[in-house]
Amino acid sequence: MRRWQLGKVGRRGALRQLSQNSLALPGGGATRDCRCLRWGSASTSLPLAEEEKEKEGAGPGPPHSRPSRPRMDVPGPVSRRAAAAATMLLRTARVPRECWFLPTALLCAYGFFANLRPSEPFLTPYLLGPDKNLTKREVLNEIYPVWTYSYLVLLFPVFLATDYLRYKPVVLLQGLSLIVTWFMLLYAQGLLAIQFLEFFYGIATATDIAYYSYIYSVVDLSMYQKVTSYCRSATLVGFTVGSVLGQILVSMAGWSLFSLNVISLTCVSVAFAVAWFLPMPQKSLFFHHVPPADQGRNGVKPQNGGIATDISASNHLPQWEDVESKIPLNTEEPPVEEQEPKPARLLVLKVLWNDFLICYSSRPLLCWSVWWALSTCGYFQVVNYAQVLWEQVMPSRHAAVYNGGVEAASTLLGAVAVFAVGYIKISWSTWGELTLSLFSLLIAAAVYIMDTVGNIWVCYASYVVFRIIYMLLITIATFQIAANLSMERYALVFGVNTFIALALQTLLTLIVVDASGFGLEITTQFFIYAGYFALIAVVFLANGAGSIMKKYRKREDPESSSQVNTS
């Protein structure tokens, strides 16, 4: 049972800060990244009648001595009630900038305690031990695959529900799912009960998107870089502290694995209690966003006596689309006259579909996304079943295990590697695919060594190298994908890539791992995973070599033509 944590971050600067503080997931698990839109930084205007009264009572004095209030321009005749409704909606749309500390601190506390689970690195020994007394085949071929299937089924509905319910209810659902998971881990018995446990952990993993996207709905855009760093660091620190604590309690204090699960249940219960104090956001990425007040004439228009959001027009606003974006929206301004409004949900799905087609028509984005999906699929498989392989090499009943120390070391060293990414100067458009090919080959070698060398310390070292390389590459892929996308498109691309990765993992699990498929031994599975990464390396090597040859020929053609013209 693993988590792939891949942060969902803000603008390009936030991604750079993320690279200096954490890994990029899926975790992965999950590695998992969604960004929200900025609201207008200018103060909202008063209703027209109140504004006239304010002008009359302003008194004499120079213009600069009176506070200015930008006016919200709304096309066409607007009633005072509609203007007042727009004003109140915009006023209550976001927590004030100076109040960013409270929701950030609460969310960081939630992320820390939700990931402070000292028993997680020892899950497989616990299931195989006297507390659950399950067989290795049951754990490998019948229990662990349930997490993959449930994560895949829940990902897209949770993605939409998170935005529609405005984050906090889904954060609470994640906390409750973690409590149920560890409560069942303590007291549930039998194969079927543990399979239900994996389903609830799949809910917790799928809802991780709410944690990373919540904070962008309650703070100002200028704070994105700082809060992203804090929230991502909180999860990493929690996971690392939990792994180290579990290793110390097992190796030095002689605690049982059951006691570690009691600590994990306590920590996730604290996280659930903290989540109740999070402020409820008033906006979200797709279903509940409101355009900036100073751009009202482009994004807000009266409709049937109320206020409706024009999603197409709002995408033209500079705050909503990065100035570096190379993939502009293909939208048209709607007519000013009133028309029958479409259902909001159908409109959101239509916008998502159009953005999907536009984003994946870009070859560079498609290339990095393909690697993201393929490698994340393999990463999930290796991380999910590494404990089973270690148990095969050195059974925990006969020797001390150091799973917690290995997980902590791989996370810390991976964070260092991710930090170093910000200082790498390379033309990724030219050498990116060859770099992916080379490091994918190194990943394949690490997995192969982990599988074939029957030494537990070599397995541990290979696992650390495997995670470091993956964290490094997934961070680079995040940079390349997010650099030219708006916030809502980054969320969409991240969700689609993760869904494809899970679909591939489900297929691989069904064929290789599941008892209804081949149900192969763990050593055979890891041999297949090594070959899987080697195949990725070959594909990107061929594609990268072809791209470089095309660029070289394009450089030669102008030179040859200029020489002919000179002669």
Q: How confident is the prediction along the chain (567 residues), in pLDDT tens digits per residue? A: 444 444 333 434 443 444 444 433 333 333 333 333 333 333 333 333 444 444 444 444 444 444 444 444 444 444 455 455 544 444 444 444 457 788 889 999 999 999 999 999 999 999 999 999 999 999 999 999 999 999 999 998 998 888 889 889 999 999 999 999 999 999 999 999 999 999 999 999 999 888 888 887 787 777 776 787 788 888 989 999 999 999 999 999 999 999 999 999 999 999 999 999 999 988 777 776 655 443 333 333 333 333 233 333 333 323 323 333 333 333 333 443 344 444 566 777 787 788 888 888 888 888 899 999 999 999 999 999 999 999 999 998 878 889 999 999 999 998 888 888 777 777 777 788 888 999 999 999 999 999 999 899 999 999 999 999 999 898 888 878 877 677 677 778 888 898 999 999 999 999 999 988 889 999 999 999 999 999 999 999 988 887 778 777 777 666 555 554 555
**Residues near 553 by Cβ (< 8 Å), separated by ≥ 6?**
none
CA distance 42 to 100: 17
In the chain, the N- to C-terminal Cα span, in Å, equals 70
> Could you tell me which of 271, 282, 274, 251 has the C-alpha nearest to residue 115?
271
DSSP string, 333-365: PPPSS--PPPPHHHHHHHHHHHHHHHHTTSHHH
CA distance 489 to 355: 7
CA distance 31 to 170: 17
26, β-bridge pairs: 5
Helix (H) or strand (E) segment spanning residue 541: helix 522-566
Question: Taking the mean position of all CA atoms in its chain, how far away is CA 394?
Answer: 34
Q: Tell me the backbone φ, ψ of residue 401, rounded to 5 degrees.
A: -110, 155
The 8-class DSSP code of residue 423 comes to: T
CB 338 within 8 A of CB 358: no
Q: Tell me the backbone φ, ψ of residue 301, rounded to 5 degrees.
A: -145, 150
The 8-class DSSP code of residue 217 comes to: G
pLDDT at 46: 34
Q: Tell me the backbone φ, ψ of residue 309, rounded to 5 degrees.
A: -100, 130
CB 211 within 8 A of CB 272: no
> Could you tell me which of 85, 80, 53 has the C-alpha nearest to residue 69?
53
Q: What pTM, to 2 d.p., does this model score?
A: 0.71
CA distance 138 to 142: 5
> ∠151-155-156 over CA atoms, to 5°?
150
Listed in sequence order, the DSSP H helices in 45-167 are: 48-56, 80-91, 101-115, 123-128, 136-138, 144-164
> ∠335-340-341 over CA atoms, to 5°?
85
CB 98 within 8 A of CB 252: no
Ramachandran sector of residue 31 (left: φ over 0; alpha: ψ -120 to 50; beta: rest): left
CA distance 337 to 54: 32
pLDDT at 448: 96
**Residues near 258 by Cβ (< 8 Å), separated by ≥ 6?**
126, 131, 186
- Which tokens go with 101? 């500390």
- By residue count, the chain amounts to 567
Distances (CA, A) of 392 to 65, 379, 397, 459: 77, 20, 11, 11
The 8-class DSSP code of residue 515 comes to: T
Listed in sequence order, the DSSP H helices in 453-486 are: 456-482
> Could you tell me which of 28, 34, 37 has the C-alpha nearest to residue 9?
34
- Which tokens go with 177? 């799912």
Q: Is 59 helix (H, G, I), strand (E, B) or coil?
A: coil
- Which tokens go with 134? 């399950």
> Could you tell me which of 57, 11, 61 has the C-alpha nearest to residue 33?
11
Place of tokens 């917690």: 404
